[in-house]
Each structure stands twice: as structure tokens, then as C-alpha cells.
A and B are shown apart, each in its own frame.
Chain A
Amino acid sequence: MPGELDAVQTLALQAVLVLTALLAASVCYTLGHRLVGLWTERRRALRRSKYQEQALLLSAGELSPVQFVRGLPRRDHLLAEDLLVEIATKFSGEVRGVLADAFVALGAVDRNRKRTGSRLWWVRADAARRLGLMGAPAVTRTLRALLKDPNAEVRIAAARAMIELGRGEWLSDLILSLDEENTFSALRLADVIMEAGPQASGALIGYLSTGRQPRRIAIAVEILGDMRAHEAEPVIQHLLVDSDSVDVRAACCRALGRFESPLALEILSRCLCDPSWVVRSQAVQALGQIGDPAAIPWVEPLLAAPEPWLVAAAAKALYRMGPLGEQALHRAPDTEGTLLGQVVQEVLQPGLQGGGARWR
């Protein structure tokens, strides 16, 4: 080693030292993270198991919330809150009622109400989720304020919490939020609205005429279809005729299929000539779901379609239309060795593995 180091060498030597320290720290952190993770996981599981039995007794009403909290050291209040939140996600009704008192006794409601004011969105979202599960009606004003939060995740968590609390009067606020710029958030909001059940259908039908974004309207139609909200059928039929959007038309076909209403046969049959294959495919599936043999003359020509999935969907639809549909399948041209032949053979032989049973 030379007696004197120049500036570059000194810098390089410092870099070696810094890099060695960083490397050692990274390796230690990686290993430490795994070891500490394993250790805390086990420790937490042990501590939880201590209270698990009491929590179950509390849920069963055999232990009062006051007794439950009295037996807990203060440092374990958060652990107990987590445990009860976990139980609350799995139960409803009476159990939730018992747990609600325990949450109040644990101070969890106040603690989470304070957390909704956090600057970190994930803390606000988590607090909203917990408040919904805690079932404290006093928090509805807090949650309603969170429906206007700038962060979509917080809004979704607050919406879900409102539904958990059974506060259906805010549904129109939620449905208007479907106009989120982000389709992914809108889809997830739709998921929340679905959880609200039939009480949401009126507000959704109203949205079909006021909504601006076709994809969001399609989401609303899909929710109505999944809810089997028959009262929406006339509006959906209107939309199917008037809408320029493929998304909306496809969703309308799907919804009409779910209603299984013979009133939609004619309008769906017209969709079999739609320029979009997505709509054609949804329409033929919907006709199959309705299962009315009156649609056979419209569906049968599709057996000659060039698209294999349309042929498959048409064959499946005909099979669902009962004996007359099966006769139509038998009438298919002598197609041995072709896809149509195979499809027909498969559809007509229920019970075979990968055969008829798959098509139902």
C-alpha cells in the first residue's frame, strides 16, 4: 500500500467502506426480517390464543363485554380489537350486536374515529373498514364525510362500512360515485353496492337515465342483472335499443338473460345481428338462459357461424330450450368430423366427462 492516498483513492476507499456497511446491513436486514417475522408471528399467535376462547365466549353471549375487557391488560387492547374485528367479519346479526358493546368498552370506536382524521390514506381506509364492522351507529356522520374523501380507497372503505351498518339512505351518494374517473374503483364500488341488495335497485334505475359514462352505466346494468331486479327490465330494454356503447348493450343482454323473462326474446333476437361479436355472444347466451323454444328459429342459423364460440354458445342455448331445441341440434347438417358435429355430439350426450354436463 502506498504511503499517501490521492483524492480518488481516498474516495474509493470510503466507497468500499460504505458499500461494505450497506451490504452487511442489507444482508442482516433481509435475514432479520425473516427471523423476526417468524418470531413475531409465533408470539402473536400465542398471545392471541390466550384471548381466543374469551372472545368466542363473548360472541356467544356467555361473557359480558365488561367482563371481557376487565380481564385484558391495557397493552393487549389492540390485539383484542383485531381479534374481535376478525370475528365480526365472519358473523352478522346478534353476534355483531354483542361485539359492538365490546368495541365500545375497549375504546376501539373512539380510537378508530380519531384514525379517520389521519393524514395517511391507508390509516383512514382501515379505520373506516373497522368502524363499519364495529356496528356503532354513532359513526355514520364520520363515515358519510369519508364518502367525499379525496382518496378512492377511503371512499370505497367508507361505502362498504355504510353498507355494513345498513345505512341504505346513502346509497344514492354511492351510486353517484360510480362516475369515478377510475373504472377499477367504479367496479369495486359496484361490488359494494351489490352488497346492499334490493334496496339499491331504485337508485340504480334512476342512475341509468342520469349516468354519463357508458362503462359506468354498464356496471349499473350488470348490478341490476345480478340482483334479478325485474322492475328494471323496461329501462334496460330501452337502453339496449338506444345505446351506442358495446359495453352497455352487452351488459343489457346479460341482464335480460338473468331475468329469464320471455318478454325480452324479440329484442334479444335482434341483437344476434349486432355488429359487435361481444353483443352477439351475450345475446345468444341470454336466449339460452331464458330457454324459451320460441327463440329456436333465431338461434339455429348461428350453428353455421364462422366463430367457434358462437357455434358453441348457440348449441348450448338450443340444448337449454328443451326437446324442440334438441331436435334443432339433430337437424344440423351431416357434420361428422367438424367442430359443429363435435359440439352437437357433446351437447347431446350429458353425463360424459367434458360433455353435455359442461354446457349446462
Chain B
Amino acid sequence: MSPAVLVYSGMILVYFLLVDSFYTVMTVIAFWDILRFLIRSRYVQEFRLYSSTLTPPISLLMPAYNEAASIAECVRGMSLLRYPNFEIIVINDGSKDRTMEVLIETFDLKPVVRVPMRTLQHQPIKGTYASPAYPNLVVVDKANGGKADALNAGIALSRAPLFCAVDADSLLAEDALERVVQPFLEHPEEMVASGGFVRVVNGCTVRAGRVQSVGLPRSPVALFQIVEYLRAFYLGRLGWNPVGGLLIISGAFGLFKTEAVAQVGGYLTGSVGEDMELVVRLHRHMRERGRRYRVAFVPDPICWTEVPESVKVLARQRDRWHRGLLDTLIRHKRMMLNPRYGAAGMLAMPYFWLAEVVGPVLELSGYLFIPVAAWLGLLNWFAFGLFMAVSVLFGVLLSVAAVLAEELSFQRYRTLPQLLALLGIAVLENLGYRQLNLWWRLKGVFSYLRGGHQWGEMTRKGFAKSK
């Protein structure tokens, strides 16, 4: 075997060992955390948090861009949340469809004056509206500036010490706010952000803004994403949670301390990965000022979100996510392997660089190397077969572990056929879908390098048609 091939194989092997060791450790930590959480939630008796005025007020910020299909149902669902003191601020980010008209007609909105409490960068606000029938609803109509820009406008107008960023294509479970706020009650001084579990709503039955029964979608693209979300939240978020290396609070559902976010300047406008960027900036800000702080993930508050069912839309979404990730990693490269930034700098940043940036490039190079090596007669087919088997088996094992975590904890998918389907998807996902994802991530790298900052159009069915 030529030295070049040896060096290359060695490089792949080292990468593989490093990343898989990361995954293994995170899986073990995640299972430990689930166990702890389950024991605690089993013995922590219910109490009247939802009726106590001592719980901090929350502003629910819902940026909406071309969400006419689902916005009314989504706002109605949010208004039914069980929490003593919250307001909903819908920010219409210059939608081109009927989003604003739907809001005005459905909630009988009237123009009101609302004075911003803080100055953050955002496009001009055209008007603010309130509804007599929904006293805790405020709608902000502003010029288009992107999701981060819309959230900044919402933060500026918020009067609550905490704000919860929610996507307008998402539904929160009735008790989601009172559960996600729990870390803020436990550590009121230190907590700056907490996030909940985002689940796939496609295939579920939704009535009056509530998920009535949990089901599986018919679309295979959406099915694959169910297991993907389980893996990301059970093994990813829960794995990073206890070590203090949580860099992502999902943009679909995250609770933040308003003043902490205002101090770092709010969301970064023009960014397509604004959720991760904000959390990383909070880590950086707090560490650089030597403040004690916490970022937490709570597994039981649920946000149901509609995922793309077409490959084309999913490809656009993943491309955007990857551009956002790269943008954040490069913007905060100073944190990389810097002990000043604790677990975020020493563990989480290297992990993201390795698994999310270097990984796709190496994996692609592997796929290109195989036919070339085979053609040149340099490929040891047996070794190659073994390597592929280990790689695929490990991937399947991680997905099955996520399904197992779901089975041991919340069991949202109640029937045996649903469980069998999830296990089947966990296996199949590694044979095609994973490779597609790799391709999208690579496209994300290239479009980032070309300077692409577009959000990309997303098409929504609306919850009324879920199932």
C-alpha cells in the first residue's frame, strides 16, 4: 500500500475514533441525565405553579413571515397555554402573503401605541396592534428584515423579564411554558437561557391549536426527521446539558432572560443561524466578564413543529442550518480550544468543528477515494467492508439509542406499530438519508464560502391539514 493511502486511511481512522468517542460519551451522559430527570419528575409532586403570580412574566415572541396558512391556529393555540402571566407578541416580518390580513380579521386587531423599552437593531416598525378579545396578544407589523431582525423588534417591545422565542409554524404543549421556566425558578440569578424538546407535528392530529393524538406521517422524508429530531434532542442536547456545553437552543422554542440578551445586543441581524449564534454569544459574553451563568435543556416541555415533507424544501432548510452553523463557528473561532470559555470552548466548539465542518468534507473525500482506489487496485475490499460496517452499525446504534431513550422516558408514540416503525426508520435512515444530509451540508459549506445569506422559501401545509 502506498504511503499516501496509508496516511489518508490513518487520518480517516483518527477522525472516526475521535467523533465516535464523542458520540459514545454523550450518549452515556444523555442516558444518565434522562434517568436522573425521570426519577426527579416521578417524585416531584405537582404543584400550583400555573396559578402563582410569583412566576416571572414571559413575552412569547412569534416572528412570522408568509405564515398565513397556520398563523391563526398557532396564535389561538398559544393563547391557551397554562401559565399565569404571559403575553404573545406576533411580529409580522413584512410578509408578502395575507399573514397580516389573517391576523387582523381573525383577532379583530386595533392599532395601539406601544413604546419600545430598549433599543436593538431592527427594521422600522409600521404599527402595533392589540385585540380586545385576546388581551395578552400584541401584533407588530414591521418591514422585512429576517427572523433575527423580527425577534429584536419583539425584544425591544417586550415588558417581561423573560422572553420565549417560538416559530410561527410551531405549537407548544399546554404546560410547555411552566416546564421550560423551571430552571429559571431554580436558579433565578444564573440562568440565561433554557430550551425544550422540539418534536415533529406531521402525522399528528391537531385540533384548536392542540396536538390531540401523536401519529407518524406518511411522508418518508418527515419520518426520517422524527428519528433525527429524537437523536438530536435526546443524545445531543441532553448529552451537552450537564457538562455546560450546550451551544444550541432551538430557534423554534427557547426561553431567554430578556436583559441578558439585550446586553449582548439581541439577535445578530442578517444571520441565518441566529439561534445558535445568540447562545454562543451569551456563553462568550458571560465567560469574558467572569459571570456565573447557566444554559439549560429541559426534556419535557414540548414544542411541536412542522417539518418539510419535500426533499427540495428540506435541502434548502439544511443548507441554511449548515450555513448558520459555519457562520457562528467562524465568527466565534476565538473560543475554540480556549480554556477561558470552559466546556463551550474546550469541548463543544471542537466537537462542532470536527463533526459538522470537517466531517462532511472527510466523508465526501472517502466516497471519492473509494472508486479511485478501487480503480488503481489500492483498495483492500475486506478492510473497506469492515470499515463501512462499523460506520453504518454505529450510526444505526445511535439512532436506535435515541428511540430507546424515547421508549424509556416519555413514550409519545404509544402503539407497538409506531415503535416498530421508528426502529425500522432508525436502521433505514443510515442507508441513503444520511448520505443525502451529507450532500446538503456540503452544499451549505460551499454556499457559505460563496457568501450566500438567503433564508430560502419554506412551504407550509398548516396544522389544519396535519394527519
Contact = CB atoms under 8 A, between A and B. Distances in A.
Bind each other: yes
Interface string A326-360: 00000000000111011101100000001000000
Given A9-B386, A34-B407, A343-B132, A307 B159 contact: yes
Chain A interface bracket (under 10, 10 to 19, 20 to 34, 35 or more): 35 or more
A346 B133 contact: yes
Contacts of A312: 132, 135
Contacts of B113: 306
A122 interface: yes
Contacts of B185: 182-184, 187
Interface string A1-25: 1100000110011011001101100
Nearest to B129: A339
B42 A122 contact: yes
A312 B393 CA distance: 60
A194 B408 CA distance: 35
A308 B397 contact: no
A339 B110 contact: yes
Interface stretch (B45-53, B93-101, B212-220, B285-293): B45-53
A251 interface: yes
Interface size class of B (residues with CB under 8 A): 35 or more
Question: From DSSP, what is the main secondary structure of chain A's interface residues?
Answer: helix
A96 interface: no
Nearest to B108: A342
A295 B52 CA distance: 26
B252 to A, nearest CB: 25
Nearest to A359: B135
A147 B393 CA distance: 50
A215 interface: yes
A12 B384 CA distance: 10
B415 to A, nearest CB: 9
Nearest to B132: A342
A339 B401 CA distance: 53
A248 to B, nearest CB: 10
A30 B403 contact: yes
A250 interface: yes
B159 A277 contact: yes
Interface in B356-397: 380, 382-383, 386-387, 389-390, 393-394, 396-397
Contacts of A219: 54
Contacts of B44: 153, 188
Contacts of B382: 1-2, 9
A222 B393 contact: no
Contact of A222 (B49, B53, B110, B423): B53
A172 B383 CA distance: 72
Interface in A123-164: 125-126, 129, 153, 156-157, 160
A33 B383 contact: no
A278 interface: yes
Given A1-B382, A277-B159, A309-B136, A191 B47 contact: yes
A31 interface: yes
A218 interface: yes
A321 to B, nearest CB: 19
B111 A222 contact: no
A247 interface: yes
Contacts of B389: 12, 16
Of B53, B87, B182, most A-chain CB atoms within 10 Å: B53
A343 B133 CA distance: 8
Given A191-B48, A222-B54, 20 more contacts: A12-B386, A12-B389, A16-B393, A19-B394, A22-B397, A23-B396, A26-B400, A30-B400, A153-B44, A187-B52, A188-B44, A219-B54, A222-B53, A251-B54, A306-B114, A306-B115, A307-B114, A308-B130, A309-B135, A342-B108
16 contacts: A19-B397, A20-B393, A27-B423, A30-B407, A33-B404, A33-B408, A122-B42, A122-B43, A125-B43, A153-B43, A185-B186, A187-B185, A215-B188, A312-B135, A339-B111, A342-B108
Can you list the 6 inter-chain pairs with the closest CB atoms, starting with the nearest? Answer: A342-B132, A19-B393, A308-B130, A12-B386, A184-B185, A191-B47
Interface of B: 13, 39-40, 42-45, 47-49, 52-54, 57, 87, 108, 110-115, 130, 132-133, 135-136, 138, 159, 182, 185-188, 380, 382-383, 386-387, 389-390, 393-394, 396-397, 400-401, 403-404, 407-408, 416, 419-420, 423
